[in-house]
Amino acid sequence: MKLILTAAVDHLGIAGDVVEVKDGYGRNYLLPHGYAIKWTRGAEKQIEGINRAREGRTVRDNEHAAELRTQLEELTVEIPARAGGEGRLFGAVTAADVASAIKKAGGPSVDKRSIEIAKPIKTVGEHKVGVKLTDAVIAHLPVQVVAS
């Protein structure tokens, strides 16, 4: 089965790559999870758009990653969440919540898969969250969870 990847997949490729995989892997995993689309001549034209979007999101080098790290660490990120009387949250703050809060705070768009939360955030207060920009550069930023 010939597919075009829409997201990076370990041991297979990055977004925009045209790959040949076994039918079951493509039909049962890649397509349902949105990691790939079927290859057609029309879809071949979408590769250019996927590559442009990927270049806008990716970190170019360690120097660029260091700039992004300082930009992220200077942000004050606030996440409103529903909480009970003692400051315990109904649920937990997810990586997607942190990514959208970073964007709202005026920071760069960060992929939710690059956000590392050491232990689940289930209380109101300040928590440290890591954002993996490259293998060598990780930004540690404080996230303030407030009751809404």
Q: How sure is the predictor about 60, in pLDDT bands with cuts at 50, 70 and 90? A: low
Give the pLDDT confidence of 62-115 residue by residue, as tens digits. Answer: 777 788 888 888 888 999 999 998 889 999 999 999 999 999 998 888 888 889
- 53: three-class secondary structure by DSSP: helix
Give the chain's domains with CATH numbers: 2-57 (3.40.5.10), 62-147 (3.10.430.100)
* In the chain, % of residues over pLDDT 70: 93
Report the DSSP beta bridge partners of residue 8.
Answer: none
Q: Which residue has the higher pLDDT, 50 or 92?
A: 92
Helix (H), strand (E) at residue 43: helix 41-44
- 22: three-class secondary structure by DSSP: coil
CA 130 distance to own-chain centroid: 12
Average pLDDT, the chain: 86
> CA torsion, points 40, 46, 51, 53, in degrees to nearest 10?
-140
